[in-house]
């Protein structure tokens, strides 16, 4: 019995450390994303959070869950940030919501972060519809520089 108790404690410590590391990575990615947002987009997101209805799942208003995204109809920009953060935690892909890409999401309700940059893995927007099985039906592509790889030049991006 003591071997089982000892093993249970060890597994518990590993799980706690893994959870703490995931929280640290999430907060760093969220801060990075927030730092890249333009003031206008920060204000739009703050206004949505201020007026949104509580999630039926019962969590605190400052948090989001899949149900919030599916049923709460957040702005496309917020939905994109949430998807990108989840992708970052899975794959380590860069995060950030620089002006040109943020404008794509702010102006196109069918934009989804679904096309990884070939160089860095940043999830570029694609015009798509989300199917019931959570896969995408692609309608158009992103035209513009990957903002994570961007080294200057044209500051435009469009989703067609």
What is the rounded distance in angstroms from the CA atom of residue 75 to the CA atom of residue 126?
16
**Percent of the chain with pLDDT strictly greater than 70:** 89
φ and ψ of 126, to 5 deg: -130, 145
Nearest-10 crossing angle of helices 76-91, 99-107: 130
Q: Which domain holds residue 38?
A: 2-159
Mean pLDDT (whole number) for 23-51? 89
Q: Which residues contact 113 (CB under 8 A, 6 or more apart)?
A: 80, 83, 84, 87, 123, 124, 125, 126
Mean pLDDT (whole number) for 45-71? 77
pLDDT the model gives residue 100: 86
How does the average pLDDT of the chain come out, rounded?
82
Q: For residue 62, is pLDDT > 80?
A: no
**Residue of higher predicted confidence among 103 and 69:** 103
Tokens linked to 19: 């959870």
Q: Which residues contact 65 (CB under 8 A, 6 or more apart)?
A: 55, 57, 59
What is the rounded distance in angstroms from the CA atom of residue 150 to the CA atom of residue 146?
6
**What confidence tens digit (pLDDT) does each residue in 116-159 have?**
998 899 999 999 888 888 888 888 887 778 888 875 444 554 44
pTM (2 decimals)?
A: 0.77
What is the rounded distance in angstroms from the CA atom of residue 132 to the CA atom of residue 147?
30
Per the structure, the count of domains in the chain is: 1
């Amino acid at each position: 019995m003591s071997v089982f108790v000892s093993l249970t404690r060890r597994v518990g410590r590993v799980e706690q450390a893994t959870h703490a590391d995931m929280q640290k990575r999430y907060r760093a990615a969220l801060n990075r994303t927030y730092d890249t947002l333009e003031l206008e987009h920060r204000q739009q997101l703050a206004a949505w959070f201020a007026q949104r209805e509580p999630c039926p799942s019962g969590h605190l208003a400052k948090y989001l869950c899949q149900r919030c995204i599916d049923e709460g109809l957040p702005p496309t920009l917020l939905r994109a940030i949430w998807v990108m953060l989840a992708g970052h935690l899975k794959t380590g892909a860069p995060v950030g919501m620089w002006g040109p890409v943020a404008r794509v999401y702010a102006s196109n309700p069918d934009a989804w972060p679904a096309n990884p940059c070939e160089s860095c893995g940043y999830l570029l927007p694609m015009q798509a519809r989300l199917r019931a099985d959570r896969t995408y039906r692609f309608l158009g592509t992103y035209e513009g520089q990957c903002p994570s790889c961007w080294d200057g030049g044209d500051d435009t991006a469009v989703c067609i």
